[in-house]
Structure 1
């Protein structure tokens, strides 16, 4: 099977592994906080028998690679290998070569927030560019393929078991701060995977759809998509307008719609990522390029 690896993806996976490792070494390990997945097992071994996580990460993942390689597409598998081995390399670097003093045992809440922010950001970058760090992701793929178990549920159960096992070296106070770190990390992963900028998707149901569409094009420098619709109760056909705008344009748009048709029905939904001709995350004012209105939504 032909590989289609991209240098950009590999570079960002390496960056994500570096950010992840920095957070794990300087905030989890130095402040005795746990973590889920294979990383959590690495921390258990580190705190109980001083086994270097840079080594245990490879030792644990190698048999998982042999068991699960056929459940990955080839590109995914190569990116996962890069993510896993680079994670071990950066763990070694931040433990032994580039060290910092981030001991925050006097303020475990701050330590947990930093741990979640760095680990979540690192994993989010790795996931966004097609990689993983191996571990429970491989186990989840195997159980999904063989037994039909949902991957998300399998990973949740494994993470919960590993975090509970971490009580062998944690007290309940450290456990609660670990849960804070895990929660923050999960939110960071979502933000990075979905995009930090949230645009708004607006659907407009109105008898004056043509007039509203014209005003959006003229006043907002955007276009709209007209979708054929039919009222379920009245059976009357109408055009449904679909438009994507930045958050700071929503109030103006609703005011415009209400002015033209006070009886219009409008829904507004979050759009976590926008790309394509006419939209880019480069505009300093609102995050969206507003040029080329006739192609934005068509």
Structure 2
């Protein structure tokens, strides 16, 4: 009883664990039922595991566990303690589900079904795992290492590693299958971004206007959002300006742009993506 009353087992923690379980299962179904069934490849460690399957008939359930285990030992220092726990959990579950779903295959004469649904399931699985702050190990850890020592963006490093694996896939796959694999990976990335950002991503708007008081009141009354006003100074003219900052739902962005243009055509507006907003006042 005390164990479940511990702060470690909060509702959010249980939801995160559920997300890792569901995400790992969806990822495994995408790999086995669609990618491998369609004789396709993948990027990262899973791609290497599929190459080993095609070349030496080694189960991806085993090879992913070994390869990810090595990467975790090498790169554990680049993950926070929380991310490390969830990542270890995700790696073990993915290997387990890859073994469990091996018998699941989709035999079809239309390989594009494998491409589309393989990318869909893999993207959903990865998105659920990454959304809660974990990683799927593999290229993510290599990307962090490259970022630290080579000063490159993590996303670019991960993409580079995935492309290397795709090129290695040419040793066991035809050029046509490799190109179809790239299409599936593109779908997976888009689905993953959608899962991470949510169905209605937020936008942060910065507005520099000659009429900040009026725009602030209009945004508050017509858009229904609170506005933060900050003081700023132009670097060249050293002119003092009030800067408006507001976070809104994406579906209200067009209305906001029209409102700003209507009352101040010369306003300088910057729109940024926001993946997460904390605070009880934001619905």
TM-score range relative to shorter protein: 0.7 to 0.9
Structure label with greater radius of gyration: 1
Superposition TM-score, scaled by structure 2 size: 0.83
Moved more, 79-88 or 250-259: 250-259
The change in CA–CA distance for 1:276 and 1:93 in structure 2 (over 3 A counts) is same
Maintained 8 Å contact 1:197/1:272: no
Q: CA deviation at 1:69?
A: 3.4
Report the counterpart of residue 3 of structure 2 in structure 1: none
3-state SS, counterpart of residue 103 of structure 1: coil
Maintained 8 Å contact 2:200/2:249: no
Alpha-carbon distance in 1 for matches of 2:78, 2:267: 50
Maintained 8 Å contact 1:204/1:241: yes
CA deviations on 1:163-222 (whole Å, 9 max, x unpaired) are 112122211111110010111212222222233323333333333221222222223322
Maintained 8 Å contact 1:197/1:273: no
Residue 69 in 1 paired to residue 76 in 2? yes
Report the counterpart of residue 175 of structure 1 in structure 2: 178
Q: CA deviation at 1:262?
A: 4.5
Number of residue pairs the alignment of both structures matches: 273
Q: CA deviation at 1:20?
A: 0.4
Alpha-carbon distance in 1 for matches of 2:151, 2:211: 49
Alpha-carbon distance in 1 for matches of 2:61, 2:263: 64
CA deviations on 1:41-69 (whole Å, 9 max, x unpaired) are 11112122222211222233333333333
Q: CA deviation at 1:153?
A: 4.4
Report the counterpart of residue 102 of structure 1 in structure 2: 106
RMSD of the TM alignment (CA)?
Answer: 2.7
The change in CA–CA distance for 1:27 and 1:226 in structure 2 (over 3 A counts) is same
The change in CA–CA distance for 1:68 and 1:226 in structure 2 (over 3 A counts) is closer
Residue 204 in 1 paired to residue 207 in 2? yes
3-state SS, counterpart of residue 101 of structure 2: helix
Q: Which runs of 5+ in 2 are unaligned?
A: 1-6
Higher helix proportion (structure 1 or 2)? 2
Maintained 8 Å contact 2:206/2:271: yes
Alpha-carbon distance in 2 for matches of 1:256, 1:66: 54
The change in CA–CA distance for 1:174 and 1:114 in structure 2 (over 3 A counts) is same
Maintained 8 Å contact 1:34/1:166: yes
Report the counterpart of residue 274 of structure 1 in structure 2: 277
Alpha-carbon distance in 2 for matches of 1:76, 1:35: 24
Superposition TM-score, scaled by structure 1 size: 0.80
Alpha-carbon distance in 2 for matches of 1:123, 1:245: 27
Q: Which runs of 5+ in 1 are unaligned?
A: 281-298
The change in CA–CA distance for 1:142 and 1:51 in structure 2 (over 3 A counts) is same
CA deviations on 1:249-294 (whole Å, 9 max, x unpaired) are 33433443344444444444443443423223xxxxxxxxxxxxxx
Q: CA deviation at 1:160?
A: 2.0
